[in-house]
Amino acid sequence: MRPGAAARRNAREFVGVAPALALVALVFVLPVAALLLRSVLEPQPGLQNYAEIFASATYLRVFENTFLVAALVTLVTLSLGFPVAWLMTIASPTWSGLLFAIVVLSMWTNLLTRTYAWMVLLQNTGVINRALLGLGLISQPLPLINNLTGVVIGMTYILLPFMILPLHAAMRDLDPAILRAAALCGATRGQAFRLIFLPLLASGIAAGALMVFVMALGYYITPALLGGAANMMLAELIAQLIQSLLNWGLGAAAAFALLVVTLALYAVQFRAFGFGAMREGR
């Protein structure tokens, strides 16, 4: 490239980022920073709110639970979503279109309504238990709701499309010739899967997993309705602090702590897998 062209290119690319930056800075960062500041100003200036959070076994347990559930849900959606995305990529256009339609359709009903439908399905007196009891497969209703199982089932349901679609997009971009070449070179399916297929999909997997994990961290309506009291997620606790107990200092502190931990995880993930890894690899 001609000298100076690189700098000009950078400047032009930065201009593209400008609208997003302006939006996020003005509409998000400024108002939120003002509120988060309350975490060190209310009720007295100082770090008492943070001390309260880290000293409390409850908050730490809620934190822990939130990240564990998010990780678990991410794993489950990946395990279920990967085969579906794969089939969507290679099946005939009709079947693939049908799969696509079903995935998109499942996102269309309102979140709350879907959650209530799961309540109807999972309860002791619900559809699944009654069917299993009726068929004689079980003698006692299975505890599918008001526990971790219910939360995972419900959240996976909501987040699955957010894993499937990016994975499918990544798979579609793969050139089948690469895999055929591998076969010609004598690679088994397992080797091709491990050494070629997965690595090429790394960015798609990372994108899907990131979205699902982060969304799972922030959900609280679904876990509140499908989980038990012991499964409380951080977002629900923060909502309670902000909207019911009106303790904005503590709520802001908990939110800020969540933000810091999540961004730290994101930094680690980025360093390990890197969004730029794909380009470097080529």
Partner 1 sequence: MLLDYSRLGWLRYALTGVAALVCAYLLAPIAVIVALSFGSSQWLKFPPPGWTLKWYRALLADPDWLTAFLTSLEIAVIVAVLSTGIGLMASFGLTRGSFRGREALRALFLTPMVLPVVIFAVALYGVFLRLHLNGTLVGFVLAHLVVALPFAIIAIGNALERFDVAIEDAAVLCGASRTQARLRVTLPAIRLGLFAAALFSFLASWDEVVVAIFMASPDLQTLPVKIFTSLRQDLSPVIAAVSSCLVVLTALLMGAAALLRRGRPT
Partner 2 sequence: MNRIAFVAGLAAMALALGSAGASRAADMVFTSWGGTTQDAQRESWAKPFTAATGINVKQDGPTDYGKLKAMVDSGNVAWDVVDVEGDFAAAAAKAGLLEPLDFSGLAKGDLDPRFVSANSVGSFYYSFVIGYNKETLGAKAPKSWADLFDEKAFPGKRTFYKWAAPGVMEIALLADGVAPDKLYPLDLERAFKKLDTIKKDIVWWGSGAQSQQLLASGETPIGMFWNGRVVALQQQGAPVEIEWTQNLTAADVLVVPKGAPHKAEAMKFLAVATGPKGQADLAAATGYAPINLKSKALMDAKIAPTLPDAHTQTQINLDMAYWADHRDEIGKRWYDWQAK
Q: Which residues bind partner 2 (CB under 8 A)?
A: 56-58, 61-62, 65, 119, 123-126, 146, 224-225, 228-230, 232, 237, 240, 242-248
* Among 150, 166, 227, 249, contact with partner 1 (rule: CB under 8 A): 166
Identify what 267 binds: partner 1, partner 2, none; CB under 5 to 8 Å per kind: partner 1
Task: Tell which residue, 57, 107, 111, has the closest CA to residue 219.
Answer: 111
* Among 144, 165, 226, 250, contact with partner 1 (rule: CB under 8 A): 165
* Among 172, 195, 230, 245, contact with partner 1 (rule: CB under 8 A): 172
Interacting span for partner 1 (CB under 8 A) from 20-28, 45-53, 54-62, 143-151: 20-28
Interacting span for partner 1 (CB under 8 A) from 49-57, 68-76, 91-99, 140-148: 91-99
User: Is residue 69 involved in binding partner 1 (CB under 8 A)?
Assistant: no
Residues contacting 199, CB < 8 A, separation 6+: 281
Binding to partner 1 (CB under 8 A): which residues in 224-253?
234-235, 238-239, 242-243, 248, 251-252
User: Is residue 74 involved in binding partner 1 (CB under 8 A)?
Assistant: no
Identify what 264 binds: partner 2, partner 1, none; CB under 5 to 8 Å per kind: none
User: Is residue 194 involved in binding partner 1 (CB under 8 A)?
Assistant: no
One-letter identity of residue 259:
L
